[in-house]
Amino acid sequence: MATNKKHNFPRRKKKKSRQQYKLGKAPGTISYMGDKERSDSIIYSTTYNANEFESNAFVNLDQFLAEEHSDKINWVNVVGITDEPFIEKLGKHYNLNPLVLEDIVNTEQRPKIDEYEDYIFGIFRMLYISEQDEIIGEHIAIVLHENTVLVFQEVKADVFNGLRDRISGKLGRIRSRGADYLFFALLDAIVDNYFLAIENLNNRIENLEEDVYQNPEPIVAQNIQQLKKEILKIRSWIYPVKELISRLIDSENPRITKDTKLFLRDVLDHAIEINESLQIYREMSMSLMEMYMSNMSNKMNEVMKVLTIMASIFIPLTFIAGIYGMNFDHMPELHYKYGYYVVWAVMIFLFVGMMIYFKKKKWL
């Protein structure tokens, strides 16, 4: 009696959706949505003008708020957005809308730009390459005030080290420009680092192309599928940036000067180039799977070709052996003195003849 065996396969743990997190909560509720462990937020404050520069770190929010924020340019970099009361108190100090604070702690928020009366708010995805040569995407929020730029990020790792060196070393024009230029410089650093992510994707595509041609194993198909998903995810982070920067250039908001808009055009050019490259890589990743299936089909055809040739060779030999393997009494050849040798000669002749024929047809 047959029995049905139940197989218990491990199931992927379902991720709690954004709708479940926000279910029943009022708009503007500050509720962190991400996968980082709760930790204290740290403020890295950089204050500068053409002649002066100062950099400090604050773990205590009250200590930071008690500091005098002069008419110099202030870069307030907040690392860690899991501490909701911390973010709320800091947001109230800078008169940020509750909806802005909600988006700051929402790591699933798509890239966006919102213009308010006193400030400009932007959400972006910062990409960088880890030590394991993997593309890491980090949620980052930027607020442009009159003399202050607020930056909120999940972890300390970022792409702004070059910008910090330029500010501290008084390199370039940044120390003589306003907060809107700092805002541009942050966007420029984010977008420029997209090129590294694009280069990483290109290298992986080239490696997979070699694997498809040289070693089309099932693991290669899994890697291609994973690459396709990653390209789509990265595209969803990068694709809106082009439109957002274009909106900033066309904006009449007084927070962004005409001179800074000229520099934003350069960032727009980079964003357009990156989007075009992403579209090419997306099509290449799709064609990789087609190439893989084609090579697997060719490989199977080669196997079937060999099996068919072997079957074609042994079918007549099997036929002869079958005829003379029958147990009839009246088979004249069975009593012939040289019958065994004749049968062998005929079988060898057929074998050699078919091999020569297949060679001439280039089937072998």
Q: Assess whether 328 and 288 both reside in one domain.
A: no
Residue 176 covered by a domain: yes
Q: Assess whether 174 and 316 both reside in one domain.
A: no
Q: Assess whether 221 and 251 both reside in one domain.
A: yes
Q: Assess whether 220 and 352 both reside in one domain.
A: no
Residue 174 covered by a domain: yes
Over the range 164-189, which residues count as b (16 or more CB within 10 Å of their CB) and which as e? bebbeeeeeebbebbbbbbbbbbbbb
Q: Assess whether 247 and 319 both reside in one domain.
A: no
Q: Assess whether 205 and 332 both reside in one domain.
A: no
Q: In the prediction, which pLDDT does 11 show?
A: 47
The structure tokens 């080669």 sit at 302
Residue 6 covered by a domain: no
pTM: 0.77
Q: In the prediction, which pLDDT does 190 show?
A: 95
Q: Assess whether 284 and 312 both reside in one domain.
A: no
Q: Assess whether 355 and 207 both reside in one domain.
A: no
CATH number at residue 253: 3.30.460.20
Residue 1 covered by a domain: no
Q: Assess whether 290 and 339 both reside in one domain.
A: no
Residue 43 covered by a domain: yes
pLDDT beneath 70: ranges in the chain: 1-25, 68-69
Residue 177 covered by a domain: yes
Residues 6+ apart with CB under 8 A from 353: none
Give the end of a domain, one of 294, 314, 333. Answer: 294
Q: In the prediction, which pLDDT does 180 show?
A: 93
Give the end of a domain, one of 240, 275, 294. Answer: 294
Per-residue pLDDT tens digits for 263-312: 999 999 999 999 999 999 988 888 888 888 877 777 787 788 788 888 88
Q: In the prediction, which pLDDT does 223 show?
A: 87
Q: Which tokens is 218 given? A: 């099932």
Q: In the prediction, which pLDDT does 339 show?
A: 79
CA distance 15 to 251: 38
Q: Assess whether 128 and 219 both reside in one domain.
A: yes
Range(s) of the domain holding residue 349: 304-360
Q: Assess whether 51 and 159 both reside in one domain.
A: yes
Q: In the prediction, which pLDDT does 2 show?
A: 41
Count structural domains, the chain.
2
Task: Tell me the β-bridge partners of 33.
Answer: 106
Q: Which tokens is 359 given? A: 């060679």
Q: In a 10 Å sphere around its CB, with 0-12 CB exposed, 13-18 middle and 19+ buried, how is residue 354 labelled?
A: middle
Q: Assess whether 126 and 201 both reside in one domain.
A: yes
Which of 173, 197, 166 shows the shortest CA–CA distance to 50? Answer: 173
Give the end of a domain, one of 252, 271, 294. Answer: 294
